[in-house]
Amino acid sequence: MTQARRILVAVGGGIAAYKVCEIVSSLIQAGHSVRVILTETAQQFITPLTFSTLARHPAYTDQKFWHPDQARPLHIELGEWAEVFLIAPLTAHTLAKLSQGLADDLLTSTVLASTCPIVLAPAMNTVMWSQAVVQRNWANLTTDPRYHWLSPRSGRLACDAVGPGRMAEPEELLTLLDSLLITGGKRDLRGNKILITGGGTREHLDAVRFLGNPAAGKMGLALAQAGQSRGAEVLLVHGPQALEIPPEIDHIAVTSGLEMAERLNQAWADFDWLIMAAAVGDIRPKTNATTKLPKDQIPNPLPLEFIPDLVKHLASRKRPDQQVIGFAAQTEDIATPAWAKLQDKELDLIVANPIDRPDSGFNSPTNQAVIFHKSGAKITVPLTTKLKLAHKLYDLILQFAE
């Protein structure tokens, strides 16, 4: 069971309000305490009863702004209660009020009466979003360190417009909320540029056959999301994967280990840290046909060659102000070979994770690890989400830099 945390959710007046039901339900199922505020227009799209049922607690509206039997004003109580505050969907109207510091309803009054991190998830018509005044209001809020956000996504909207305006998906918002609950909204990685790799590589024999591995890219994505939530500038270089990369994260897709090496060699000099979470192949076919080979033309035995050690090469080029963090996916004894790899490749840290234990390794949302620092320090991380493992790694990097 996740440690129960206190999350305040404010629902704005837009068709995307239905997505917030999934967010509230997921938070409750994870063991958190949730309180919900609905604006007057939000109640035209979804009822307070719906959120009261999902949150296991009565939803709040402007009609309940002041309770005669309540000793203190509701917006003060809610503002002090919340550890993190989500506003979704954020409408153009509420955006304008927040930008000017207005407080004429329960939602905006609670914003001013609280100090916790606030997550903004705008949703509106494409033309409305593109208006200069809306963009000015948005820029005004996003320069405030208290606010965290996921910008509108592009696609077909309920009004049939096509373009930016869709609210970020519940899963994306839940990830950001999790990060803020872990960090308290601190941006302690601001000023750092982090180069991250994720997913597996594919070494093609022909147009359809390849040597690869089951890496799905979840650890690399978690590292990118965690780093960005803490204020870092991140670039994710990833192999082929089905995971959708949020538009806030700069990323480059590659296929082979050679392509990844080319991209990293080009970028490495401009970054402070390199975190090699990708499962880069060790071997590749000696030949690579551009068309599909007939079965009887596939070499047997298949001639293979080793792929140059990418992380070792990049570590050898690092400046004194740069750090290289490796990952080692292992079976059975994970610690001994990981420590040997750290020394051989001259890494600053290495994360050894098992791929032969339940709920760990490739394509799992959770992981466990043994982390070594070059000083010899050893930290064991029990089974946790990959997002929490990512934050733990950043905590250790900062700790060892002190």
Q: Which residues carry out catalysis?
A: 159
Other Cβ atoms closer than 10 A to 135: 11
User: Residue 343: which residues within 8 A CB-CB, separation 6 or more?
Assistant: none
CB 34 within 8 A of CB 24: yes
Output the DSSP codes for 38-80.
E-TTGGGTS-HHHHHHHHTS--B-GGGSS-TT-SS-HHHHHHH
Positive or negative CA dihedral for 204, 210, 216, 220? Answer: negative
CB 213 within 8 A of CB 279: yes
> Which residue(s) pair with 379 in the sheet?
371
CB 328 within 8 A of CB 350: yes
Binding residue positions: 282, 292, 308-311, 327, 341, 345
Look at strands 366-373 and 349-354 and give their pairing: antiparallel
> Which residue(s) pair with 201 in the sheet?
none
Report the run of H or E that residue 6 belongs to, with start and end.
strand 6-11
Taking the alpha carbons at both ends of the chain, their separation in whole angstroms is 33
User: Residue 353: which residues within 8 A CB-CB, separation 6 or more?
Assistant: 327, 328, 329, 330, 334, 360, 361, 367, 368, 369
Q: Where are the beta strands (DSSP E) in 44-173?
A: 84-90, 118-122, 147-149, 153-156, 162-166
Binding residue positions for CTP: 282, 292, 308-311, 327, 341, 345
